[in-house]
Amino acid sequence: MSDDLLKRIDLLSQEKRELLEMLMKEDTGSQTTYIAPRTPVEEELANIWSQVLGIERVGIHDNFLELGGDSIQSIQVVAKVNQVGIQLSSNQLFEHPTIAELATVVEINSAPQAQQEPVIGPVPLTPIQKWFFEQNLEELHHWNQAVLLEVQPGQDPALLEQAFGQLLIHHDALRLRFEQKQGTWQQINKGLGETVSFSQFDLSQITESEQPSAIERIATELQSSLNLCEGPLMKVAFFNIGDQKPSRLLLIVHHLVVDGVSFRIMLEDFQTVYQQMTRGEAIFLPPKTTSFQQWSGLLTEYANSQELKQELTYWLTQSLQTQRIPVDFPEGSNTEDSTGIVSVSLTQQETQALLQEIPAVYRTQINEVLLTSVVQAVSKLAQTRTLLIDLEGHGREAIIEGVDTSRTVGWFTSVFPVHLDLEKVHDSLDTLMSLKEQLRSIPKRGIGYGWLRYCSSDVEITEKLSALPQAEIILNYLGQFDRVFADSSTFQLAQESYGMTNSPKATRSHLLQIIGKVMGGQLQMNWAYSKNIHRRDTIENLAQCFIETLRSLINHSQSNNSTSFTPSDFPEAELSQEQLDQLFRN
């Protein structure tokens, strides 16, 4: 270290040193023993964390991230907390990640009341919706989200149909319609009075071995039968496969009106309504949060604000040209019908370490760890020290005061480019620490990029951003699906295929789509590619390199007795990594 740097460290004001010491105590002071909630607010927060994270007992000094919490679970926490009269944002949860800290900043009974009446009328298109229509896909109507459920024997299909009818009433975005006027797509929220498309199929007379293929065939037919202009954009199918056997229930919704968080909300509300109906109770769902219509309108205004325009310089430097990903078949067509998937996974023990041990040791979030392993694998294949990658987020960032979308159904997803620099890293741990800092420098977790590119009224801004190089890889972590259904629930996720969610004629948006989620306590990472462009063994090698890097980080965290800090852990101290390392050595 240079004498000049040592002098600068020595010259740090006593005030800054004291601040750093205080922050270090806060950051390293996680409790090893359980400390129970002391107030009603702390008790409510602890109970909700326990429900969302699936942890039996939560102490007031336990760290949300170190318990395995992620950004999607933060939305679930916010939704449940707001329902009991405590106002909380996901930003506050990450800024104050213990219950003891949170309890000092939350507000009681001051949450704004969202519109509870049916939402009707025009809705501005969101950035992700505009992105969808820009793709000029064939068969726009066939681009869905879907789930296939296993249903305990003896359930009444008529009640199931009525339960989904209640979702259509409660969640306004499910009544959206789309029409093209003078070459521009528009969306409008229809009023009440629509019925759910509910079909029943009796497969009890065919053999058990034939039933899965029959379900898949029917499901694919239904997947391709939605109509953007006329609706409904949600279809449900009930499959009877035998009187004494669990039935199957298929839910299909066009992606234009839902995302992964929306699906969780819908499934939770569906279970609630169905249970109320089977017990003969009145239908009662939690109050609506900010409508998709209002949110889209407010963010469209924000897209033209001076505050957001200040981000333009940052985004113009993110989409720099980098070396392209090597391909096996340069002339291949990147279509949906050529999609292949290579899947890799961790064990339950490794997944637990990924979710709870790594965050404690490296002060990281899971998306930072997954991205590190992806970057390590791809950089070896491409022989490059820089990488341009798209990251997909839930898009429900708390940007505007008084807006709460924690229980709002709609397509909120944000996609934004990140130009990653690996020039100064030497190993996986270096890469993790570097990427952690690069990701945390992104303004407002990336939500501004889409609003500038697709919704700004300044043509120069939209043209500049649309002309930049586009990433060939996209990474999306969907979170933990383990607790969508309780073990005692009437419904569980089924194993059979729910058919093709996207039209086989559609063009894929990226060469590599990497999608991760936790199922059954295990991290699963699917690497989707085109068989027309890459050989399977090329992608298998990539996926294997990814999982080996992930395991090496897990092993390192388990053998490391100290916590690794970076400047973003102490933003108020305004120190470089070199200065921070020197202070810790001292």
Of the listed ranges 32-36, 64-68, 139-143, 270-274, the one predicted with least confidence: 32-36
Q: What is the mean pLDDT of residues 101-122?
A: 81
**Of 162, 204, 553, nearest to 358 (Cα)?**
553
pLDDT at 575: 63
Instruction: Look at residue 401 and give its three-state secondary structure.
Output: coil
Alpha carbon distance 404, 89 (integer Å): 8
Average pLDDT score over the chain: 88
Q: What is the mean pLDDT of residues 538-554?
A: 95
Q: What is the mean pLDDT of residues 273-299?
A: 94
pLDDT at 489: 86
**Of 68, 52, 58, nearest to 36 (Cα)?**
58
Alpha carbon distance 75, 56 (integer Å): 20
16: confidence class by pLDDT, cuts 50, 70, 90? low
For residues 184 and 294, the answer to whether their CB atoms sit within 8 Å is no
151: confidence class by pLDDT, cuts 50, 70, 90? very high
Q: What are phi and psi of 181, to 5 degrees?
A: -125, 120
Tell me the range of 373-382, 416-425, 524-533 where mean pLDDT is highest: 524-533
Residues 555-572 have pLDDT tens digits of 988 877 656 666 666 666
For residues 75 and 445, the answer to whether their CB atoms sit within 8 Å is no
pLDDT at 574: 63
Q: What is the mean pLDDT of residues 209-215?
A: 96
For residues 100 and 468, the answer to whether their CB atoms sit within 8 Å is no
Alpha carbon distance 43, 474 (integer Å): 39
Q: CB under 8 Å to 447, separation ≥6 — which residues?
A: 393, 395, 397, 399, 414, 416
pLDDT at 579: 66
52: confidence class by pLDDT, cuts 50, 70, 90? confident
Residues 357-410 have pLDDT tens digits of 898 888 888 999 999 999 999 998 888 888 999 999 999 988 888 899 999 999
**19/199: higher pLDDT:** 199
pLDDT at 502: 96
pLDDT at 29: 43
**98/29: higher pLDDT:** 98
Percent of the chain with pLDDT over 70: 88
Return the DSSP state at 33. S
In the numeric block, which tokens belong to residue 567? 């400047």
Of the listed ranges 105-109, 247-251, 264-268, 441-445, the one predicted with least confidence: 105-109
424: confidence class by pLDDT, cuts 50, 70, 90? confident
Residue 442 scores a pLDDT above 80: yes
In the numeric block, which tokens belong to residue 289? 């949060």
Alpha carbon distance 62, 100 (integer Å): 9
pLDDT at 113: 74
Helix residue ranges, H only, 224-320: 260-278, 292-302, 306-309, 312-318
pLDDT at 428: 81
Of the listed ranges 56-65, 142-151, 156-165, 288-297, the one predicted with least confidence: 56-65
pLDDT at 260: 92
Residues 464-488 have pLDDT tens digits of 999 999 999 999 999 887 677 777 7
Residue 12 scores a pLDDT above 60: no
Residues 325-335 have pLDDT tens digits of 999 999 999 99
pLDDT at 431: 87
1: confidence class by pLDDT, cuts 50, 70, 90? very low
Rg (CA), the chain: 25
Q: Which helix (H) or strand (E) holds 25?
A: helix 14-28
Strand segments, DSSP code E, in 136-196 are 144-151, 176-181, 184-189
Residue 521 scores a pLDDT above 70: yes
Q: CB under 8 Å to 209, separation ≥6 — which residues?
A: none
In the numeric block, which tokens belong to residue 515? 């999608």
pLDDT at 21: 55
pLDDT at 166: 96
Q: What is the mean pLDDT of residues 255-282?
A: 95
pLDDT at 194: 86
Three-class SS string for 333-368?
Answer: CCEHHHEEEEEEECCHHHHHHHHHHHHHHHCCCHHH
Return the DSSP state at 443. G
Of the listed ranges 345-359, 473-487, 502-516, the one predicted with least confidence: 473-487
